[in-house]
Structure 1
Amino acid sequence: MKTNQLALLISSALLLAACGDDGNDGVDGSNGVNSLVSVTALAVGSSCTYGGQLIESGLDSNGNGTLEDTEVQHTQNLCYDSASGFNMELMARHESGVYGLSAAEIVDFDIVAQKVLVVNAVSGRVDVLDASGLASAEAVSGSAELALNNLPLLNELDVAADVGLERLGGVNSLALHDDLLAVAIERADEAGNSKQGNGYVAFYRRVDGAYSYLKAVEVGALPDNVIFTPDGKSVLVANEGEPNNAYDVDPEGSVAIISVTDGEPADSANLVRFTDFNIGGSRADEVSQMIKINGPGASVAQDLEPEYIAVSADSATAWVSLQENNAIAKINIADASVASLIALGAKDFGLAQNAIDASDKDDMVNIRPYEGVYGLYMPDTVASYQWHGSDFVVTANEGDSRDYDGFSEEARAHDLVLAPNHPQVSAAQDDTLLGRLKVTTSMGDEDGDGEYEKIYAYGGRSFSILDSDGRMVFDSGSDFERITASLLGLNFNNNNDENKGDSRSDDKGPEPEALAVGKVGDSTYAFVGLERTGGIMVYDVTNPFDVHFVNYIVNRDFATDFAVDTDTGEYEGNMQLAGDLGPEGMKFVAAEHSPFGVPMLVVGNEVSGTTSIYRIY
């Protein structure tokens, strides 16, 4: 008998027959034969120098749920590359052929239907990709990774058409639990402001491998992230409530909670609001001075902009990133209340372990500390996991500014009038040092005299781990810049719309945005996508107090000549061979739900419009 049997719900029809446009053509899967995958550990020095895994797959011909020796059709040794026992291999990829227009953002994987679901944001649709061939896919390497395109498009969900309301816009997020799919879509208001009306969550049910529209539930303005609780009993939505470009319409941010009973979503949402934190409100004194509230004329509730949600393993607590505010809201799900607003504080770029390269005009790698300069963490994606029964929150510290026609807080360090005793008075006027660094004008003038005692930049250029109450227990410091500079040279801190090295040092550096956390064997790993430079940083976070770097995986050709306009999608050069640009969303798939029999990571890359799948072992 094989060890570690995994009876995956994959019919032979899915494995052996091509699907039609609706994913339902061919042999009826209910009459098919299940595919089984067996994973057996290979000892060090056996078939693999550093050990590895034997992957065997085949069809359960006798229907007993066990992969017998006579049923094995495919065998492969997966050898570890080093004694660390961790590897990632690119197995599948989809090229949408749409560049710069967010054609691949948030992703999920349906193990039952063997499909990858991808937010094609600007189009207002969800792309449905055929993943039925993953079990027999072969790993590729080198230049073959750049051109891989073996994950075909089956069909699309036209969410706006299904909901059937006027003024619907882009799709921002999706999530799958059992057979229920939730998709967040934004809506314009009656005055024509593109994102300021109340959005909706559209629900679909998987029926015979396809997704059938059920209903739409109204939520708040600009639903930006949707997530199921682990128990599947609630859907949570981060309603960002962004202002319009003139900054004369600014909806309140909120978190929507939609109950799900016996697989049926409720007809209405319960909104968690932040009005009690407004000036004069019952909880106004809980708003720390380090929570950035700076929208012109905005109340606290209007200024708070929920971005992303993580939920505890017991489905009781949610942590919501308030990116522009440099804060996190802790939510009690059961009574739909705000437990606390957590100020994230500032990262001291004057410390050696937090050093940065602050200039895109120095033609060199110049990672150095700057006393008196700080980074606002401003996380985008957040995730949670447990260690010794306690919850920990992982944050990707991207950073974001408010930069609108009606109001902008952005400036360069050389624009600030610094206090005479500030240690960077000279460096701030040198564009090869600190002068080009993008900073906020909304913080740093601590005595209100027009001179800045501190310089605050956007983002931590790192990822962090917090305990359940928001106390920081780990930050990756300057790792991302140091590692990419060592491996990529002047291609570090690259932008994602062209190959021009060191072009983001003055902004937010590598700009960590995408994030996923999952277990590989007995260890828990964090996967952090660098939106600008590209690639995935991998850290072992099993013990949040003993975190260490594991690997950096990047599928990008920094020598390819290309440039893409992210407003129009027009491009020059060879975009097809540029690789994966702008990792925006990730989905970690545990071994028991993966067709490989080992964990996998699905990545949506918004600038290249590509979706990538890695096998992890």
Structure 2
Amino acid sequence: MKTLGLKHGGVKIVAIAALAACATTAVPASAAVVPTPVNYSSDNAAISLAPLDSYDTEIFDSSAAEIVQYVPESQRILTVNAQAGEVDVLDASDPKNLVKEYAINAAGVKSADGSVIPEGAVANSVAVREDGLGVVAVEAPNKTDAGWLVYFNANANAPTIIGAVRVGSLPDMVTITPNGATALVANEGEPAEDYSVDPEGSISVVTLPKTLAANAKGFKGSIAQNQVKTAGFHAFENNVPEGVRIFGGREDATGVKPEFPVSENLEPEYIAVSENGAKAYVSLQEANAVAVVSVNSGQILEILPLGTVDRTEIAMDASDKDKSIGLKTWPVQGFRMPDALGTYKVQGMDYFVTANEGDSRDWAGYSEESRMKDFGKDGIAPVCESVAEEAGLSLKDLRKDENLGRLNLTTAQGLNADGSCYETLYAFGGRGFSIFDPQGNLVFESGSEFEEIVAKAVPEYFNSNHTEAKFDGRSDDKGPEPEGLSLGKIDGRTYAFIGLERVGGVMVYDITNPRDAKFVTYVNNRDFSNNTGDLGPEGLDFVSATDSPTGKPLVVVGNEVSGSTSVFEITVK
């Protein structure tokens, strides 16, 4: 593999000699441990990962395996099967032989507010307390309606649903505080396709029953609707911090100005709780921000903007038509827009870690997406000449497919003062991960490392998509697209396990020193030659050696495209 050091005008180039385009047609995958998983490690890697088994739902590209949660007492894995609207319960006592025991389906359950969960409700997320009290975030069939939090016994030998409470619109993620007293639900509140309705985003703060006891229902305690508090964003209607993206609401889509436009605009995605349980960090993905919540008061304390990855300094491959692994710098800023978050404490200070997937608003009633070459068409303002000058190119050359022409950008930000042209180009996602201090100050940025590592580990399928194994297929969008994240401690060191949604696999970094995180290893249980194995990792869960049935740490991964749940064993070298 020949490395070329080039420079074109003002654009610095790091490229790898062109590769023949490889593609495997998208066909239903076979989820299993593949004969030769991709393994690529640093020279001094302290740990390695190896797949043990993969449970296959045999449902391809329909979100049949998303969020995963390990249950130590019963040695089970809970996997959210959104396609079936339920949670699959897997026996993981032998993680080399995962077996489905049963499924939990909430249809027909009566909630504490008197509503009944209908058929067609969607399970989105699951969490389990130490004593086995489980909770599932359930979305209504009409996503703009209020959803539910369903309680169940994760240690029972058959489906045992205890009850439910009503939460906000589109409950997308649930987690439980370290002391087990509270569940936190991220109510995303996405709009209807035509923006006829756009619910407010919120966080439900739910007081959980104190005990889970072995009686007729396996439960002791009460469930009441008044145990649910709502943390909303009304306090920020006229107080949005600079750098938080507020755009594309009902006023933009329909001309109707809502009473609380900011509250409708912010869409909570994922929650991570501090080690002492006092604060929660909530990703507001489209807004490129994180909300900080006081768990005790049930109020949102502040919103922290996350800034951009400066692509004039940090390289990326911006085209799927350049016929090479072309990691170059460009006059582009990348909104980080994280999905999953994690928190950990170092010397008494909480840090939060973000998997910078990227996401856009792209609905029938409003879309912010456009390829760079389409700026200047169909009512979109053109790109300013100054942008091309910064790249050392003419606008005509900059718009070519092999340059920036095919890169997906937002039309919602970047216009100059008079609105005549775009003076700054903003892309979706950071293509890596970041670490922030509790005030939202950036302390570490992985930059272009993910793309560089994938280029070395699997060059023939660099920036592949998940449904199709193809060279360079996602470079024009969000690259490897890091989405899932789980943190864990091994031998006194803290590691981040990050799932790459598109090309697949798990990146592992030692983040013990938050200001100097180091790449450790990359493993991908995918056979690109026939597009089998794990496709589209969505959710990850770290299992400590103490809780693991093997006595070694594990990482459990839910893969939404292959519909598989896989277990990786961690070996300390």
Flag whether TM exceeds 0.5 (same fold): yes
Partner of 2:360: 401
Q: Residues of 2 paired with 1:187 and 1:261: CA distance?
A: 24
Partner of 1:437: 407
Partner of 2:446: 476
Q: Residues of 1 paired with 2:300 and 2:396: CA distance?
A: 44
| 1:552 Cα deviation from its structure 2 partner | 0.5
8 Å CA contact retained: 2:108, 2:119: no
Q: Residues of 2 paired with 1:95 and 1:166: CA distance?
A: 27
Partner of 2:177: 229
Partner of 2:316: 356
Secondary structure of 2:453 counterpart: helix
8 Å CA contact retained: 1:119, 1:171: yes
Partner of 1:510: 480
Q: Residues of 1 paired with 2:344 and 2:466: CA distance?
A: 30
Letter of the aligned partner of 1:241 in structure 2? Answer: G
Partner of 1:174: 126
Aligned equivalent of 2:72, options 104, 108, 111: 111
Partner of 1:49: none
Aligned equivalent of 1:420, options 360, 370, 385: 385
Partner of 2:303: 341
Partner of 1:183: 136
Letter of the aligned partner of 2:296 in structure 1? Answer: A
The alpha-carbon distance between structure 1 residues 261 and 154, as it changes in their structure 2 partners (threshold 3 A), is: closer
The alpha-carbon distance between structure 1 residues 599 and 479, as it changes in their structure 2 partners (threshold 3 A), is: same
Structure 1 gap ranges (5+)? 1-79, 138-149, 189-193, 279-283, 563-577
Secondary structure of 1:225 counterpart: strand
8 Å CA contact retained: 2:339, 2:356: yes
Q: Residues of 2 paired with 1:184 and 1:290: CA distance?
A: 27
| 1:119 Cα deviation from its structure 2 partner | 0.2
Q: Residues of 2 paired with 1:168 and 1:200: CA distance?
A: 13
Aligned equivalent of 2:89, options 128, 132, 136: 128
Partner of 1:273: 232
Q: Residues of 1 paired with 2:60 and 2:160: CA distance?
A: 29
Question: Does 1:368 find its partner at 2:328?
Answer: yes
| 1:427 Cα deviation from its structure 2 partner | 4.5
8 Å CA contact retained: 1:365, 1:490: no
Letter of the aligned partner of 1:418 in structure 2? Answer: V
The alpha-carbon distance between structure 1 residues 490 and 92, as it changes in their structure 2 partners (threshold 3 A), is: closer
Q: Residues of 2 paired with 1:489 and 1:583: CA distance?
A: 20
| 1:289 Cα deviation from its structure 2 partner | 4.3
Q: Which has the larger radius of gyration?
A: 1
| 1:159 Cα deviation from its structure 2 partner | 1.8
Q: Residues of 1 paired with 2:155 and 2:339: CA distance?
A: 34
After superposition, where does 1:27-46 map in structure 2 within 5 Å? none
Question: Does 1:597 find its partner at 2:559?
Answer: no
Aligned equivalent of 1:200, options 148, 157, 163: 148
Letter of the aligned partner of 2:151 in structure 1? Answer: F
| 1:132 Cα deviation from its structure 2 partner | 2.1
Q: Residues of 1 paired with 2:281 and 2:159: CA distance?
A: 30
Identity over aligned pairs, percent: 43
8 Å CA contact retained: 1:168, 1:186: no
Secondary structure of 2:546 counterpart: helix
| 1:81 Cα deviation from its structure 2 partner | 11
Q: Residues of 2 paired with 1:131 and 1:82: CA distance?
A: 32
8 Å CA contact retained: 2:73, 2:155: no
Partner of 1:544: 514
Partner of 2:52: 91
Partner of 1:151: 98
Aligned equivalent of 2:201, options 253, 278, 285: 253
Q: Residues of 1 paired with 2:49 and 2:119: CA distance?
A: 42
| 1:270 Cα deviation from its structure 2 partner | 0.3
Q: Residues of 1 paired with 2:104 and 2:321: CA distance?
A: 45
Partner of 2:465: 495
Secondary structure of 1:596 counterpart: coil
8 Å CA contact retained: 2:245, 2:286: no
After superposition, where does 1:259-338 map in structure 2 within 5 Å? 259-263=207-211, 264=221, 266-268=223-225, 269-278=228-237, 284-297=238-251, 299-338=261-300
Partner of 2:341: 382
| 1:580 Cα deviation from its structure 2 partner | 0.2
Q: Residues of 1 paired with 2:436 and 2:158: CA distance?
A: 39
| 1:333 Cα deviation from its structure 2 partner | 0.8
Please give the per-residue CA displacement for 1:410-451, whole angstroms capped at 9, x wherever unaligned. 001112211122224344311111110000000000314230
Letter of the aligned partner of 2:326 in structure 1? Answer: N
Secondary structure of 2:450 counterpart: helix
Aligned equivalent of 2:433, options 463, 472, 477: 463
| 1:500 Cα deviation from its structure 2 partner | 1.4
Question: Does 1:585 find its partner at 2:539?
Answer: yes
Please give the per-residue CA displacement for 1:194-253, whole angstroms capped at 9, x wherever unaligned. 200000010012455444111111000000000000110100000000001112210000
Structure 2 gap ranges (5+)? 1-40, 111-115, 212-220, 252-257, 376-381
Aligned equivalent of 1:529, options 490, 499, 503: 499
Q: Residues of 2 paired with 1:81 and 1:320: CA distance?
A: 32
Please give the per-residue CA displacement for 1:363-394, whole angstroms capped at 9, x wherever unaligned. 111010003x1000000000101111211101
Say what the alpha-carbon RMSD is for the aligned residues.
1.7
Count the aligned residue pairs: 495
Secondary structure of 1:361 counterpart: coil
